[in-house]
Amino acid sequence: MPSLFATSDLHVTHEGNGPIVDEVVPDDPGDWLLVAGDVAESAKVIRGTLARLRERFAKVVWVPGNHELWTTPNDECQLRGQARYEFLVEQCREIDVLTPEDEFPVWDFGPEPLTIAPLFVFYDYSWRTPATEGKTREEALAHAREIGVVCTDEYYLHPDPYESRAAWCEQRLKVSRDRLDAIPADRRTILMSHWPLHRHPTNPLYYPDFALWCGTTQTEDWHLRYRAELAVYGHLHIPRTTSADGVRFEEVSLGYPREWRKRARGAVPVRKLLTA
């Protein structure tokens, strides 16, 4: 019977990570794979990697991470912001990989059907530390810069045509809420995103102010509101299982070689979430 697997933050262009993609394999030809963002920065590499994974798994579902949305000088694709995201969605459709813009698939191999909701919800700088609580977004960002914490998104992740990344986040929240609200009220879900939907996974961050680039307070209750069986995410490079309000949260990231080489278990390129 099929199993549901998940991975994220493969960062395949980082030396040492490329060969690990060969270890992302199913147990059974009917297995599904969730890819929670940050495959790579290059549009060509993103498509190529997802195509390889689609050849192995019966179904592959992808959501973008911040690295996929970067527009870097060396990428052949110089589209920015929303245009880049739409291009990646079309690339996925050509290789039969589902995205947040497609009909939500249903995992119906277990005790009850679960709607898998791939979400692109982004961040809006609303996750603050005590030092910046109650201050403006600009003041919070200035404080982070003063202590040497600046996400590379500030240089490569363009929000075009929106005026800011926070404004793009607001638009994505509306799109996501509308789609989630349309799921039948008696159907439980698997919420899948690159950025965590709840604040608690950021607690172990070495630099707490980095939480500014990790999510939004507007999704804090989504695991309850949308009846989540589990929530899957990446981004933090802190792979682990936690819970909030009795709901299981799974960070499924591989991370950079300098990170996974320090762990006793080494690289964990894929996690099994559910077995039929």
Pairwise CA distance, residues 229 & 213, whole Å: 26
pLDDT of residue 157: 98
**Is the pLDDT score of 273 beyond 90?**
yes
Q: Do residues 84 and 42 lie in contact, with contact meaning Cβ atoms separated by under 8 Å?
A: no
| Dist CA 97 CA 105 (whole Å) | 11
Structure confidence at residue 105 (pLDDT) = 98
**Per-residue pLDDT, 1:** 87
Residue range 23-73, pLDDT digits in tens: 999 999 999 999 999 999 999 999 999 999 999 999 999 999 999 999 999
Q: With bands split at pLDDT 50, 70 and 90, how would you rate the model's confidence at 135?
A: very high
SS3 194: coil
- Structure confidence by residue, pLDDT tens digits, 100-125: 999 999 999 989 999 999 999 999 99
User: Buried (b) or exposed (e) across 198-236, using 16+ Cβ within 10 A?
Assistant: bbebbeebeebbbbbbbbbebbbebbeebbbbbbbbbbb
What is d(CA 223, CA 212) in angstroms, rounded to the nearest whole number? Answer: 20
Distance between CA atoms of residues 112 and 96, nearest Å: 25
What is the rounded distance in angstroms from the CA atom of residue 199 to the CA atom of residue 162?
A: 25
CB 270 within 8 A of CB 36: no
Identify the pLDDT of residue 276.
Answer: 76
Exposure class string for 82-96: b at 16+ Cβ within 10 A, else e: bebbeebbebbeebe
As a whole number of Å, the CA-based R_g of the chain is 18
Two structure tokens written together for 88: 């990646």
Please give the single-letter amino acid code of residue 267: A
CA separation, residue 237 to residues 180, 205, 232 (Å): 27, 10, 13
- For residue 177 the two structure tokens come to 């809420």
* 3-state DSSP assignment of residue 59: strand
Q: What percent of the chain has pLDDT over 70?
A: 100
Helix (H, G, I), strand (E, B) or coil at 5: strand
Q: What is the pTM of this model?
A: 0.97
